[in-house]
Amino acid sequence: MPFLQLSGLTKRFGDVVAVEDFSLAVEKGEFVSLLGPSGCGKTTTLQMIAGFEQPTSGHIMLNGRHLEEVPARNRGLGIVFQTYALFPHMTVEENVAFGLEMRGIDKKERARKVAGALELVQLAHLAKRYPRAMSGGQRQRVALARALVIEPELLLLDEPLSNLDAKLREEMQLELRRIQQEAGVTTLLVTHDQNEAMALSDRVAVMHHGRLMQQETPFHVYENPKSSFISTFLGKTNSLTATLKTTNDEGSALVCNGMELAGPPAHLRPGPITVSLRPERIEIVEAGEAVVSGPVIERIFLGDQWLFRIETPIGPLLVVRRNRGQREPEHGETVHLAWTPHHLRLLPKEDEAA
């Protein structure tokens, strides 16, 4: 039996179905992200696990116990919110010690555990500080130490890094992963930030309209999205409308804006489909090798990479190239593009409306 098992979890608020028939299994020590756009039901799912919301139906099992009947305070979970929720009148060590005090842990043991938790988040030197005299990143570490000090069976993180600026957020992502692995704690993270979910998680569970759409490793979800919603939500992609003409074990034939294209074998019926082509899969080639050609209509330098938008007969294509310090096409210059057919992902058309 998995360490955490959500089975058929559903939550309705009046007419609104916030979470629908959501099932997910998480193994001990695993880091899983619930990823999805605003309003897809991520927080509601976390709140049901935490015990702040009652499921309309479904079950939550943690380490062999049914959690539905257990009051929030007795679930023994570590929780970190976006706002950190530190006590402003308490020092860092008092904040971290609070949960232990509530549990009646004696002073000596408390001091030992607090020291260990502050060590883990690398804040031992700031134990006597007050939260107001700390940066956002440091406060976030205090919140983490406070959640981890009780040695929770499960750590729940609700958008914990979204109040930090971009650079600090990236640093804290690495930190969060290190801390989670060192503590070995099973972790569920709620985020709408695909980079964060990919950087941190063993597995990503993508949600849309209260439902679980796909749950696999970040690499697998990125490379093999099940729907066009997922392919556009996770990373950048070129989404093309096409018609699948024929398919067999060798490959498929597509028509996109009147142009014939070769694709990989498809598990779809002939007819309208969506084709996803990742920008980093498109190469700039010589005229003779081109699948499509067209002028550069946008050219953006991002330091480590270049983004180009090329006007082609199958529509504008986004192309990403690693900056290697070499000459890159100019605005208006005609470029020739190619890709291998098996890099196309053929997805059902209906998904777009979902």
Ligand X SMILES: Nc1ncnc2c1ncn2[C@@H]1O[C@H](COP(=O)(O)OP(=O)(O)OP(=O)(O)O)[C@@H](O)[C@H]1O
Which one among 4, 22, 31, 42 touches ligand X, defined by CB under 6 A?
A: 42
Q: Token match 């062999």: residue?
A: 64
Nearer to ligand X, 16 or 174 (CB): 16
Helices 136-148 and 92-102: crossing angle, nearest 10°? 20
Tell me the C-alpha distance between 174 and 199, whole Å: 8
- Does 13 bind ligand X (CB under 6 A)? Our answer is yes
Tell me the C-alpha distance between 254 and 77, whole Å: 51
How far apart are CB 197 and ligand X at their closest, in Å? Answer: 13
How far apart are CB 189 and ligand X at their closest, in Å? Answer: 12
Q: Widest CA span of the chain, in angstroms?
A: 77
- Does 52 bind ligand X (CB under 6 A)? Our answer is no
How far apart are CB 301 and ligand X at their closest, in Å? Answer: 32
Closest alpha carbon to 319 in 288, 293, 345: 293
How far apart are CB 210 and ligand X at their closest, in Å? Answer: 7
- Does 83 bind ligand X (CB under 6 A)? Our answer is no
Tell me the C-alpha distance between 88 and 133, whole Å: 10
Q: Which of residues 185-204 bind ligand X (CB under 6 A)?
A: 192
Q: In what order do the strands lie in the sheet with 203-208?
A: 77-80, 154-158, 186-191, 31-35, 203-208, 211-216
- Does 39 bind ligand X (CB under 6 A)? Our answer is yes
- Does 228 bind ligand X (CB under 6 A)? Our answer is no
Binding range to ligand X, per CB under 6 A, among 37-45, 55-63, 263-271, 314-322: 37-45
Tell me the C-alpha distance between 28 and 61, whole Å: 13
How far apart are CB 36 and ligand X at their closest, in Å? Answer: 6
Which one among 20, 36, 134, 235 touches ligand X, defined by CB under 6 A?
A: 36
- Does 58 bind ligand X (CB under 6 A)? Our answer is no
Nearer to ligand X, 48 or 114 (CB): 48
Q: How far is CA 89 from CA 95, 236, 273, in A?
A: 9, 45, 58
How far apart are CB 193 and ligand X at their closest, in Å? Answer: 10
Find out whether 46 and 156 touch, Cβ atoms under 8 Å.
yes
Interface contacts to ligand X, rule CB under 6 A: 13, 16, 18, 36, 38-44, 192
